[in-house]
């Protein structure tokens, strides 16, 4: 069975920033773990390129709209390679096949009677290009941008959101944990239980830059249908069907939770389609407490600059090591450097180099599996502990909690380093017996090899560098490919991760 992991379909009205990179890194970690676990997983990303705001921004830059979105989409496409992310699909809402798909979706919803022409009056945020109910606002301020909203009335096509409220509420009650972390699902349930939902505006008038409503040329299809159905456009481009949305994990920021956890499933229910397997919701990275956002230039952080300073692996690790998904975090380069140096350079890479140096020096790069038969109690105790930590890491991946993965692996590294220093295998010529040293190096080699496999979804370059020294490749490895007491063959002892200055 093919599974799918998605980033949001990013709004292409500005340059990508660290917030976009964070979503992409989390999605790539989920994707890499799925493949490591033996699944044929497809990574989807893309850009949402329609709307009045994009047209206005292009005009303000004295640029042709098509040229403008081509430039911005290319910038998002170029974001991924420096972060060691290789999407399988990059969908654009301006693509011809996507627009044809949206026209077909609209016609189906219209035929069912779920869309009708009406009028909408409400509080509108120009920066978000969306209406907000009074309960969602902070006074008259947009909850995302902090800007004052405008009261706007205009004709619009409306989707009968309330028709599907009870069905969606029952689904969430029957499937706890389909949104993670769980408190985000509880928040949506509370909103659904609060009472009737207002019908959803799904078209815009006086906007020529979008997919034309097939039954009304004065309107264009709004983002709730245009961008969200981009996920299915991407799936079908890979020979999947719209039913495969059931095998899909969406990774998204908390600011677009409502769109994905309320509007999107109601639209799917209206078309009698299954709902996504999982929504993985993350909080924000902030600059001095302010959300990183294209609309706030003071918060823009170029992820490529951070990746060059920390390395791609360093940035990926720091972003997931510093905080769990549920908590906002303030960007601090000095804290990132400290974390990366402590965990990747000192605890992991340095241990690998020191242990492999001893194996090549004393045992010609080879320790046979026979050594597992007579391991002393201290060795057996550490191996037992290591198996528990690696299982904790697997459970954390399955729970979509990369922060917990890093905690488990850091604890294992701390114990393994303590074991290594306590047993001092480098003193073989100064009183430490050959068997003692051989067993120590054998156990440490097996553990760091397992750690390299386990950490590979987060730090793929470092992991492959370590595994190559053991004659292994991530291209052929699966999570349980290597046992804890396999023979050890080492081809060298290089520095796998340089300290960040």
Which tens digit of pLDDT belongs to each residue from 275-333?
999 999 999 998 866 776 666 655 567 898 899 999 999 999 999 999 999 999 999 99
Delimit the domains of the chain by residue range: 2-282, 333-489
Specify whether 142 is catalytic: yes
Q: Let me know if 183 is a catalytic residue.
A: no
Q: CATH number of 2-282: 3.40.50.620, 3.30.930.10, 3.30.465.10, 3.30.460.80?
A: 3.40.50.620
Q: What is the pLDDT of residue 152?
A: 82
Peptide bond into 134 cis (omega under 30): no
CA 62/CA 75 separation, integer angstroms:
19
The 10s digit of each residue's pLDDT in 122-136 is 788 877 767 787 777
Please name which of 220, 215, 4 lies closest in space to residue 93, comparing C-alpha atoms: 220
Give residue 209's Cα distance to chain centre: 30
**Catalytic annotation on 379?**
no
β-sheet with 89-92: strand ranges across: 89-92, 40-48, 2-11, 248-253, 278-282, 179-180
125 is catalytic: yes
User: In 433-479, which ranges are E strands?
Assistant: none
> Among residues 72, 219, 294, 353, which one is catalytic?
294
Active-site residue identified among 31, 101, 128, 496:
128
Strand 179-180 relative to strand 150-159, pairing: unpaired
Predicted TM-score of the model (pTM): 0.94
If one compares 141 and 107, the residue with the highest pLDDT of the two is 107
How confident is the model over 340-391, as pLDDT tens digits? 999 999 999 999 999 999 999 999 999 998 877 789 999 999 999 999 999 9
Between CA 86 and CA 76 the distance in angstroms is 12
Classify residue 44 by burial, with Cβ atoms within 10 Å: 0-12, 13-18, 19+.
buried
Give me the catalytic one of 30, 31, 142, 496.
Answer: 142
Among 52, 53, 145, 432, the active-site one is 145
- φ/ψ of 119, rounded to 5, equals -135, 150
User: 50, 99, 250, 291: which one is catalytic?
Assistant: 291
pLDDT digits (tens, 9 = 90+) for 201-215: 999 998 999 999 999
- In the residue annotation, 308 being an active-site residue is answered as no
- Per the annotation, the verdict on 294 as an active-site residue is yes
Q: Is the dihedral of CA 427, 430, 433, 434 positive or negative?
A: positive
For position 123, what pLDDT does the model report?
Answer: 83
Pick the CATH number of 333-489 from 3.40.190.10, 1.10.730.10, 3.90.600.10, 1.10.3720.10: 1.10.730.10
Question: What region does 274 belong to: left with phi over 0, alpha with psi -120 to 50, or beta?
Answer: beta
CB–CB of 14/294 below 8 Å?
Answer: yes
20 is catalytic: yes
């Amino acid at each position: 069975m093919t599974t799918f992991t998605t980033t949001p379909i990013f709004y292409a009205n500005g340059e990508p920033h660290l917030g976009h990179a964070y979503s992409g890194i989390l999605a790539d970690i989920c994707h890499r773990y799925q493949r490591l676990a033996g699944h044929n997983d497809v990574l989807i990303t893309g850009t949402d390129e329609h709307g009045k705001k994009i047209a206005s921004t292009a005009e303000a830059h004295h640029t042709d709209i098509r040229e403008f979105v081509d430039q911005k989409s290319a910038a998002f496409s170029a974001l991924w390679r420096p972060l060691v992310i290789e999407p399988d699909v990059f969908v654009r809402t301006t693509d011809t096949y996507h627009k044809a798909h949206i026209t077909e979706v609209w016609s189906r919803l219209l035929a069912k009677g779920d869309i009708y022409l009406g009028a909408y009056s409400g509080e509108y945020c120009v920066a978000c290009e969306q209406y907000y109910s009074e309960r969602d606002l902070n006074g008259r301020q947009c909850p995302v941008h902090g800007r004052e909203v405008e009261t706007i009335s205009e004709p619009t096509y409306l989707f009968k959101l309330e028709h599907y409220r009870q069905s969606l509420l029952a689904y969430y009650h029957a499937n706890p944990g389909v949104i993670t972390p769980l408190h985000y699902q509880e928040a949506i349930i509370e909103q659904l239980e609060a009472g009737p939902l207002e019908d959803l505006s799904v078209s815009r008038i006086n906007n020529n830059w979008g997919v034309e409503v097939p039954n009304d040329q004065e309107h264009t299809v709004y983002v709730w249908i245009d961008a969200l159905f981009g996920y299915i456009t991407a799936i079908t481009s890979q020979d999947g069907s719209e039913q495969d949305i059931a095998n899909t994990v969406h990774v998204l920021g908390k600011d677009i939770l409502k769109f994905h956890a309320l509007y999107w499933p109601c639209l799917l229910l209206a078309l009698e389609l299954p709902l996504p397997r999982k929504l993985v919701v993350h909080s924000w990275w902030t600059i001095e407490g302010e959300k990183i956002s294209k609309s706030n230039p003071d918060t823009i952080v170029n992820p490529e600059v951070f990746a060059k300073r920390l390395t791609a692996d360093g940035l990926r690790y720091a972003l997931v090591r510093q905080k769990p998904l549920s908590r906002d975090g303030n960007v601090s380069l000095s804290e990132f450097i400290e974390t990366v140096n402590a965990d990747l350079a000192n605890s992991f890479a340095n241990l690998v180099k020191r242990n492999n140096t001893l194996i090549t020096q004393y045992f010609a790069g080879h320790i046979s599996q026979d050594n597992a038969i007579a391991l002393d109690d201290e060795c057996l105790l550490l191996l037992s502990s290591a198996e528990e930590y690696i299982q904790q890491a697997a459970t954390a991946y399955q729970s979509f909690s990369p922060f917990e993965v890093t905690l488990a692996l850091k604890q294992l590294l701390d114990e393994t380093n303590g074991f290594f220093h306590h047993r001092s295998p480098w003193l073989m010529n100064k009183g430490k017996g050959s068997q003692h040293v051989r067993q120590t190096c054998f156990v440490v080699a097996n553990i760091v090899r397992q750690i390299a496999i386990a950490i590979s979804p987060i730090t793929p370059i470092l992991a492959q560098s370590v595994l190559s020294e053991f004659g292994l490749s991530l291209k052929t490895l699966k999570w349980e490919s290597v046992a804890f007491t396999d023979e050890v063959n080492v081809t060298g002892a290089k520095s796998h991760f340089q300290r960040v200055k």
